[in-house]
Amino acid sequence: MFFILSKLFWIVFAPSHIVIWLPLVTAALLWRGQVRLARRFAVASAVAIVVFGVIPVGAMALRPLENRFPRPAWPSRVDGILVLGGDLDSATLKSRGVVGHPSSEPRLVAAFELARRYPNARVIFSGGSGELGGGDGDAPAAAHIFAQMGLQPGRLLLEDKSRNTWENFVFSQRIAKPRNEQVWLLATSASHMPRAMGIAARLNWKMIPWPTDYETRRTGMGAAWEPLDNLGKADMAFHEWTGLLAYGLSGKTASHP
């Protein structure tokens, strides 16, 4: 139920979706002759476009998430590397018979760099389908990309049943069976790291954060008048902040130092 409700909430309230919903509602009200109410929704549409598309509020909201867990120094030893999936779009790529160039997937590049530096570490990639209708998820594409980069197939373990971050950790923990004395690294996007580390703490899985996929600069507001980029960052920020709130209220995260 949590998964379904989160997807329905996203469909309605994502910033880029709101920018679409408001003009549609305005048009419907005009068609019904409700001019006064339509004017209010038209104003709301203009405000939403300015706030989410013109002003870089998404970048400003993402920055504190991305700065929460900076990359640490290289550990002296690593026993395992957990890589979380995210938008590899394996179904589309598989249908075309190709997979994107490895350099286009920063978290996989980072994970491969870690795997080379720590040759005895196990590598787990976790990424099932996060779509309501199901699908292949990210695991097939990740396996192909890791193979392109030269990771030995025997080192890679795939978790392909998870639909969200909570399930990423629950299902991966069953595969890894981590012990308290082991050192595990977590590779995921910098904005996703606070929620992921909170879940790891909740499940008592000791993790060292290794953030990737940075979308913002350390300082500065970000670029204005770039609607597509700003809308994309607004969606990302909304997704992560609401995810933190929902996971916290449902007891799926714990505080992390």
More confident residue, 140 or 187: 187
pLDDT, position 257:
47
pLDDT, position 100:
47
**pLDDT one-digit tens code per residue, 65-98:** 999 999 999 999 999 999 998 766 544 444 334 4
DSSP 8-state assignment for residue 155:
G
The strand order across the sheet containing 122-126 reads 156-159, 122-126, 80-84, 184-189, 207-212
Phi, psi angles (nearest 5°) of residue 40: -65, -40
| The CATH number of the domain covering residues in 71-213 | 3.40.50.620
Give, in order, the Cα–Cα distances in Å from 164 to each of 139, 148, 176, 184, 193: 13, 26, 18, 20, 14
Q: Where are the domains of the chain?
A: 2-65+224-248, 71-213
**pLDDT one-digit tens code per residue, 109-153:** 999 999 999 999 999 999 877 565 556 678 888 888 899 899 988
Indicate yes or no: pTM above 0.75.
Answer: yes
CB–CB of 165/250 below 8 Å?
no
